[in-house]
Amino acid sequence: MSIIQEKIISKIQGTAMPKPANDQNTDDIVPARFLKEITFSKMGNYAYYDERFKEGKKIEEHPFNNSKYASAKILVAGANYGCGSSREHAPQALKRFGINAIIAESFSEIFAGNCASIGLIGITVSKENISKLIETINENPKTEFTIDLEKKKILFNEKEIPFDIIEARRQSFLNGTWDAMAILQKNESKIKELEKKLAYLQFK
């Protein structure tokens, strides 16, 4: 199986956690002091850190601490999610925490692009449907959701909600081309061959 085939994303399945506030910015998601990390490997530990811990104490009711959502793969947010600075650390933190998809009323476009580049799905639904999803989660945190990128629908409890996503981005998930690094690695030999033919590299 090729690298690109292995990177195909057509469905995200799992339980969800609610965090419906509007204008959650990248500094909320990852406080600036953690940007000094030289790799993203520990970034999942810092997701919403300053909301989750106060004076050294764990805030149990915070959704990222709450045991009801311990295995959640989907985050349900509000409008303008991921606004603020363009730091890549924010989507990295969410992905490494265990979130594979975010459903929001709207996104900061830079944030949404940073999410897409690491295979973190970002889709939008209406404010009314955000409320329906939150209500469902609150009634039963174990509800299983399926985000079907081919059908462009969220499926749960024999119900379905349509969602929006930039079409080019949707296609990149479905055909496995969202991971630019994987594509470069797959075509390393072709890149080296082309490099030999570039005129400006022939001068010595």
pLDDT in tens, 32-63: 999 999 999 999 999 999 999 999 899 999 99
Closest by CA to 31, choosing from 101, 100, 96, 89, is 89
Is residue 1 a part of any domain in this protein?
Answer: no
64-92 pLDDT tens trace: 999 999 999 999 999 999 999 999 999 99
Classify residue 186 by its DSSP letter.
Answer: H
Q: Do 104 and 183 belong to one domain?
A: no
Number of other CB atoms surrounding residue 148 within 10 Å:
15
104 pairs with which residues across the strands? 124
Is residue 3 a part of any domain in this protein?
Answer: no
Structure confidence at residue 163 as a pLDDT band (50, 70, 90): very high
How many angstroms separate the CA atoms of 191 and 193, rounded? Answer: 5
**Averaged pLDDT, 137-150:** 98
Q: Do 107 and 147 belong to one domain?
A: yes
Amino acid at 160: E
12-39 pLDDT tens trace: 999 999 999 999 999 999 999 999 999 9
Closest by CA to 101, choosing from 124, 120, 79, 119, is 120
Is residue 69 a part of any domain in this protein?
Answer: yes
Q: Do 65 and 128 belong to one domain?
A: yes
Q: Would the pLDDT of 173 be above 60? A: yes
Q: Do 96 and 48 belong to one domain?
A: yes
Q: Which residues of 91-127 are buried (b: 16+ CB within 10 A; e: fewer)?
A: bbbbbbbbbbbbbbbbbbebbbbbbbebbbbbbbbee
Is residue 191 a part of any domain in this protein?
Answer: yes
Tokens of 18: 């609610």
**Domain residues for 34?**
11-165
Q: Would the pLDDT of 182 be above 80? A: no
Tokens of 122: 């970002």
Share of the chain above pLDDT 90, in %: 81
Number of domains in the chain: 2
Q: Do 103 and 187 belong to one domain?
A: no
Q: Do 134 and 64 belong to one domain?
A: yes
**Averaged pLDDT, 182-187:** 56
88-134 pLDDT tens trace: 999 999 999 999 999 999 999 999 999 999 999 999 999 999 999 99
Q: Do 185 and 161 belong to one domain?
A: no
Is residue 171 a part of any domain in this protein?
Answer: no
Structure confidence at residue 1 as a pLDDT band (50, 70, 90): very low
Q: Would the pLDDT of 203 be above 60? A: no
Q: Do 196 and 140 belong to one domain?
A: no
Q: Do 88 and 186 belong to one domain?
A: no
Q: What is the CATH number of the domain that holds 80?
A: 3.20.19.10
Q: Would the pLDDT of 197 be above 80? A: no
Is residue 113 a part of any domain in this protein?
Answer: yes
Q: Do 59 and 136 belong to one domain?
A: yes
Q: Do 142 and 195 belong to one domain?
A: no
Is residue 76 a part of any domain in this protein?
Answer: yes
Q: Do 116 and 191 belong to one domain?
A: no
Is residue 154 a part of any domain in this protein?
Answer: yes
